[in-house]
């Protein structure tokens, strides 16, 4: 995956991606300043995180060069197809727009990809990707995972069903 990088940079980059799922701390409520976070969709429209307030949110931090991120995309797509009308999906990358646009044109996932226009809020900061958060309507982090997860599994679907019903 990182063959064109030097050995030290390759070792560093390898630490940034995670194949193993690691549960992060949950039950934190988002600080109010988090709602000022700005992202842009692939059409160039600016969105502020506060637009998602009061919704169940599936937030995935990823990159086009991250193999574990790409491995979980089909599961996220399946989940989005079933829950996209009831859950706000946000797949956020810090890459250049042309890179993410090219990826979407090639893969055709049809997922709601966004580009970070401002630094990722501290509460979502992670040293590895993919990192995914599921938030309830009150802005509380209910699930936080680093690494590849089966996002199309029964456990995730039960969680989303419960959060939607609340």
What pLDDT score does 154 carry?
A: 94
Angstrom distance (rounded) from CA 25 to CA 102: 34
All structural domains of the chain with their residue ranges:
19-165
Q: What CATH number does domain 19-165 carry, 1.10.10.10, 3.40.50.2020, 3.40.30.10, 3.20.130.10?
A: 3.40.30.10
Q: Write out pLDDT tens, residues 55-99.
A: 999 999 999 999 999 999 999 999 999 999 999 999 999 999 999
Give the global pTM.
0.84
Angstrom distance (rounded) from CA 2 to CA 13: 8
Q: Write out pLDDT tens, residues 12-64.
A: 444 444 444 445 455 688 888 899 999 999 999 999 999 999 999 999 999 99
**Whether the Cβ atoms of residue 7 and residue 120 lie closer than 8 Å to each other:** no
**Whether the Cβ atoms of residue 57 and residue 50 lie closer than 8 Å to each other:** no
Q: How far is CA 93 from the centre of its chain?
A: 8
Whether 102 shows a pLDDT value over 90: the answer reads yes
Q: At what angle do helices 154-165 and 67-83 cross, to 10 degrees?
A: 50
């Amino acid at each position: 995956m990182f063959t064109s990088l030097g050995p030290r940079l390759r070792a560093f980059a390898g630490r940034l991606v995670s194949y193993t799922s690691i549960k992060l701390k949950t039950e934190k409520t988002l600080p109010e300043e988090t709602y000022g976070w700005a992202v842009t969709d692939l059409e160039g429209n600016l969105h502020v995180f506060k637009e998602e307030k009061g919704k169940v949110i599936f937030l995935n931090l990823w990159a086009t060069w991250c193999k574990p991120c790409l491995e979980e995309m089909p599961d996220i797509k399946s989940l989005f197809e079933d829950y996209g009308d009831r859950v706000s999906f946000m797949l956020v990358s810090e890459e250049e727009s042309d890179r993410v646009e090219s990826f979407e044109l090639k893969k055709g996932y049809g997922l709601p990809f966004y580009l970070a226009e401002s630094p990722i809020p501290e509460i979502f900061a992670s040293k590895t990707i993919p990192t995914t958060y599921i938030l309830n309507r009150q802005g509380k982090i209910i699930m936080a995972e680093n690494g590849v997860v089966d996002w199309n599994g029964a456990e995730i679907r039960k969680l989303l069903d419960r959060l939607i019903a609340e």
